[in-house]
Amino acid sequence: MINVGDKLPEVGFKVMGSNGPEALSAQDLFAGKKVVLFSLPGAFTPTCSAKHLPGFVANFDALKAKGVDTIGCVAVNDAFVMDAWGKAQEVGDKVMMLADGSAEWSKAVGLELDLVAAGMGVRGQRFAMIIEDGVLKDLAVEEGGAFDVSSAESVLSRL
């Protein structure tokens, strides 16, 4: 698993562009920026839709006031699903919806979650990161289905 002080891997994401899914490199996302990146098990799932993503949308101004350049939401879903979920949640340009469709990024940081037995395949764990210029400065990983340390309010307290 990635540790505080480590450089984020060069594995990128997919985002929805005007002509469909587009690649977004880790370099383009992280270089020279303060990024809050949070991961959740899946788009349109209960806690993710009712609490996790909405908390970052609601706290957008407070996060920006703490010097955050970009807020990113990553899930092991494709760019079409992440785009549709972002629209359904009315994130606008507040949260960048990052698709990790094959869990390559989640695996590269060692934070994948095996939900094969539950019929959901391999997903990403629920966590939040604070990243500065591509280096991990803070990592909070939830334990066993909890939702606390990865919330927007918790991230704000650590900025």
| Tokens standing for residue 98 | 């990052």
Catalytic-residue membership of 48? yes
Q: What amino acid occupies position 97?
A: M
Relative to beta strand 112-115, strand 121-124 is antiparallel
Among candidate residues 47, 42, 50, the one with its CA nearest the CA of residue 146: 47
Q: Which residues contact 157 (CB under 8 A, 6 or more apart)?
A: none
The Cα–Cα gap between 6 and 109 comes to 10
Residue 152 dihedral angles phi and psi, to the nearest 5°: -60, -40
Among candidate residues 102, 149, 135, the one with its CA nearest the CA of residue 35: 135
Catalytic residue among 16, 48, 81, 109: 48
Q: What amino acid occupies position 26?
A: A
Active site residues: 48
